Amino acid sequence: MFAAVRSGVSVNEPVLYVAFELAKKEWKVAMTAGFGVAPRLWTVAAGDLAAVRRALEKGRAWFGVSATARVVSCYEAGRDGFWIHRALGALGVANRVVDSSSIEVNRRARRTKTDRLDALKLVMMLVRVCQGERRVWAEVRVPTATVEAARHRSRERTALRQEQTRLRNQIGSWLALSGCAVSARTQRQAGWWREVRDWAGTELPAPVQERIARAEARLAVLAEQVATLEAEQTAQSRQAEPSSGRGRLVRLRGIGPTSAAVLLEEGLEWRAFQNRRQVGGLLGFAPAHHASGELCRDQGIRGSGNPRLQSVMVQLAWGWLQWQPASALSVWYRQRFDRGKRARKVGIVALARKLFIALWRYATAGVVPHGATLKTA
């Protein structure tokens, strides 16, 4: 009874359970009316909401569920994103988006897997979740359409920065093939590749020079686009209300507009965390212990977590030590990990996790990290 109340679905309440297995060309739609009821499968064209509506009507008729009964559905998060979740909500369906990596699987070496079997399995797992069973899977918090659109700016900047790094590394590889060593200062000069000499003191071959020239042209375009995005993020931070999450974060020394944008757009606020454990779960960086019988060992850090947040938080953690040396977090880090290069690298991950939780408290509740200083106006 307690589980039924928590899940919002009574055991005796008529409910139509629906699971979608999404593919590029077609969707598998599995339905059932609860435990002990064999599920039924329908196939619709991908993205055809009218066909989904007709399939739901057929499911109601097949299982004898009234037109006023609740419809609960789920699907695995993937390339289709969250528009399906919003579309199902418009049809009056209570949908859940499931983290595909959290779904339990058979551990045999070879197992049968098809879209049909996945859909049938997913719908029965949905019944278990709705009837109150916990830890069946992990669900994804769905952002609003506005928040989802806002994430494109910071993610595009990250992609552009990665493209810049890739091109610079390629140029370095082309120079290494000719036995050239060119400093970063020289590469900032216009047409620098024309003055470069190889190991024998001769100019680079014309095809190599032309390729470098085209790569430098792409780098110039990338630099212009990055500058535009950073200017937009800076303007957005200046216009933010002082009491908002963005306005608070950019007032902290060591936190810039770009870092604040990534933290907020990846979910520091809109995910509406209930406690620090949920915050740490988003970031990851948690230890993975392995203990069985007398065997007990540490497997390092788990691979789960948001990679964008992890990258930003490690950078912010190093910057925090520089810009907030008197804060409680910096003092804790120096006391515990200032014992060599390897210890500092291990400890920076722990500092990043603690700092992320502290920034969440500051952005959402205005609790300034102990000992931290704010920027002067």
Task: Tell me if 352 sits within 8 A of 316, measured CB to CB.
Answer: yes
What is the number of structural domains in the chain? 3
Q: Which of 207, 239, 271 is the last residue of a domain?
A: 239
User: Could you tell me if residue 375 is inside a domain?
Assistant: no
Residues 97 and 155 both lie in one domain = no
Q: Are residues 252 and 232 in the same domain?
A: no
| Token pair recorded at residue 194 | 């024309």
- Polymer length of the chain: 377
pLDDT at 319: 96
Number of H helices, E strands in the chain: 13, 7
Can you read off the two tokens belonging to residue 376? Answer: 């002067």
Q: Is residue 361 part of a domain?
A: yes
CA distances from 225 to 59, 155, 166, 206, 290 (A): 50, 13, 16, 29, 46
Residue 316, domain extent: 245-365
Q: How far apart are CA 88 and CA 95, in angstroms?
A: 7
DSSP conformation letters of 82-147: THHHHHHHHTT-EEEEE-GGGS----SSS----HHHHHHHHHHHHHHHHTT--SS--BPPPPPHHH
In a domain, 165, yes or no: yes
Residues 234 and 281 in one domain: no
Question: For residue 79, how many other CB atoms are within 10 A of its CB?
Answer: 6
Strands 94-98 and 287-292: unpaired
Q: Which residues does the chain have with pLDDT short of 70? A: 1-12, 109, 377
Q: Sign of the C-alpha dihedral, residues 107, 108, 109, 115?
A: negative
272: exposed, middle or buried (C-beta count within 10 Å: 0-12, 13-18, 19+)?
A: exposed
Q: Is residue 56 part of a domain?
A: yes
| 7, 98: one domain | yes
- The single-letter code of the amino acid at 210 is E
What pLDDT is recorded for position 105?
81
Considering the domain architecture, whether residues 249 and 235 belong to the same structural domain is answered as no
- CA–CA separation, 217 and 212 (whole Å): 9
pLDDT at 7: 44
Is 154 within the bounds of a domain? yes
On whether both 112 and 164 belong to a single domain, the answer is: no
Q: What pLDDT score was predicted for residue 31?
A: 96
- 3-state SS assignment for residue 241: coil
Q: 233 with 253, same domain?
A: no
In whole angstroms, what is the distance from residue 12 CA to residue 15 CA? Answer: 9
Q: Does a structural domain hold residue 143?
A: no
Helices marked H in 178-263: 184-187, 206-239, 245-249, 257-263
CA 278 to CA 316: how far, in whole Å? 20
pLDDT of residue 10: 55
Between strands 94-98 and 70-76, the pairing is: parallel
Quick one: 234 and 249 in the same domain?
Answer: no
> Which pLDDT score, from 0 to 100, does residue 40 have?
95
Instruction: Specify if 139 maps to a domain.
Output: no
Residue 57: C-alpha distances to residues 51, 54, 61, 151, 237 (Å): 10, 5, 6, 36, 49
Answer yes or no: do 188 and 294 share one domain.
Answer: no
Question: Which pLDDT score, from 0 to 100, does residue 12 have?
Answer: 64
pLDDT at 301: 78
> Where residue 53 sits, what CATH number does that domain have?
3.30.420
Helix (H, G, I), strand (E, B) or coil at 327: coil
Q: Do 26 and 69 fall within a single domain?
A: yes
Whether residues 271 and 288 fall in one domain? yes
Q: List the CATH number of the domain containing 220.
A: 1.10.287
Give the H/E segment covering residue 252: none
Is residue 370 situated within a structural domain? no
User: Domain check: are 90 and 170 in the same one?
Assistant: no
